[in-house]
Amino acid sequence: MSTYVYGITASAHPALPDGMGGVGDPARPVRVLKEGGLAAIVSDAPEGLRPKRKDLLAHQNVLAEAGSAGCVLPMRFGSVAPDDTAVTGVLAERAEHYQERLTALDGRIEYNIKANHVEEAVLHHVMAESPEIRALAEANRTSGGGSYEDKIRLGEMVAAAVKAKEAGDARALQEILEPAAEAVGVGPESTGWLANVSFLVDRHAAEDFLAAVERARKDLPHLEVRVNGPLPPYSFVETGPAEPAGSTAGGLGTGAG
């Protein structure tokens, strides 16, 4: 039976509630594997596991329960090892790395911030900031809409100005929030958001960070700013060990899924 891994923690971490269920239908019982000073939170891995809402929530719930009692290095959804022995072998092999990460992330949480432009508001900003765009728009208006070429040119100018403003606003947002965080992790650009940034925050400073978010919303009212968190520190767990031989669905790499 393959072993599904939810996260890695210290062997002295408080026990999870009896009978706690994880992924699968029926939910597989969650258990703990210990190796030296480390422990892995695991269950049997169901066949044909897919990222369905029920199982994604189950994965998150296990991490949330474990994280409420102490630091946990979260694994990606779908992290599966061939068996329990493979898991404890990785814990032994990478013990120094995992111990360092547990110490560094103890008492820390993650907030993921995503932002996009409010379309009408950003167009107003672009028009206000560019005399050239304003002049062409006015010329088109007074000439009954302008020629096809002028309309295309105006559209291209506006699109380029909005694109440039995206980069500037992403920097401005990060500059407002960064002082309230201990570390910053920038997400992939191809997400459909002008900003997709994760912030590592001391659990006791969460209110200060959320206050900074409200300041950003006030200072940058042409942005829609979304907050996801508090989360386990997915974005700040360095990549784990290479996949054990025969592992599937992502091996034992830690991080967001």
pLDDT digits (tens, 9 = 90+) for 78-117: 999 999 999 999 999 999 999 999 998 998 999 999 998 8
**Helical axes 148-177 vs 131-142, angle rounded to 10°:** 150
Q: Is the pLDDT of residue 257 over 50?
A: no
pLDDT: which is higher, 14 or 144 = 14
pTM over the 0.75 mark: no
| Least confident interval from 119-123, 163-167, 196-200 | 119-123
Q: Is the pLDDT of residue 150 over 50?
A: yes
- Label residue 190 by pLDDT band (50, 70, 90): low
Bond before 26 cis per omega within 30 degrees: yes
- Label residue 145 by pLDDT band (50, 70, 90): confident
Provide the Cα torsion 238, 241, 246, 247; round to 10°. -30
- 72 Cβ contact list (under 8 Å, min separation 6): 7, 8, 9, 13, 41, 63, 66, 232
User: In this structure, are strands 195-202 and 223-231 parallel, antiparallel, or unpaired?
Assistant: unpaired
pLDDT: which is higher, 246 or 219 = 219
Buried b (16+ CB within 10 A) or exposed e, 227-254: eebbbbbbbbbeebbebbeebebbbbbb
How far, CA to CA in Å, does 179 sit from each of 134, 164, 173, 212, 230? Answer: 37, 24, 11, 9, 18
Which pLDDT score, from 0 to 100, does residue 119 have? 79
Give me the chain's average pLDDT, please: 85
Distance in angstroms (rounded) separating the CA atoms of residues 241 and 90: 7
Q: Is the pLDDT of residue 127 over 50?
A: yes
Q: Is the pLDDT of residue 248 over 50?
A: no
